[in-house]
């Protein structure tokens, strides 16, 4: 696959995402899932910049990012808690092993 082919495929994907964003938040489940999956797994920084700079969907883009991508999920909170617990356990272990 040539560089030009890849660019054309990316442009087609962006066009599809722009068409979905234009209808956000009134999307049926499968299309909403497609939009979310693309933002989480398929979007490159260039894609995000081009879509964010598109005045036709700028408002929907910001609303989607705010409500779906840029918020803490319960999984993020659990990860932070586990990280903090590990740090406390390490420092607690060091403190307990220190000669008094």
pTM given for the model: 0.64
How confident is the model over 24-69, as pLDDT tens digits? 888 888 999 999 999 888 889 999 999 999 999 999 999 998 888 8
Find the mean pLDDT for residues 74-97: 94
Alpha helices (H) in 1-100, listed in sequence order: 3-23, 29-37, 45-52, 58-64, 74-97
pLDDT for the residue 85: 97
Q: What is the pLDDT of residue 6?
A: 66
Q: How is residue 17 written in tokens? A: 């995402």
């Amino acid at each position: 696959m040539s560089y030009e082919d890849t660019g054309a495929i990316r442009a087609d994907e962006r066009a599809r995402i722009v068409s979905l964003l234009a209808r956000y938040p009134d999307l049926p489940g499968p299309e909403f899932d497609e939009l979310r999956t693309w933002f989480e797994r398929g979007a490159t920084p260039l894609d995000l910049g081009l879509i964010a700079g598109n005045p036709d969907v700028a408002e929907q883009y910001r609303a989607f990012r705010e409500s779906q991508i840029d918020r803490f999920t319960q999984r993020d909170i659990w990860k932070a808690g586990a990280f903090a617990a590990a740090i406390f356990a390490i420092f607690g272990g060091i403190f307990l092993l220190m000669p008094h």
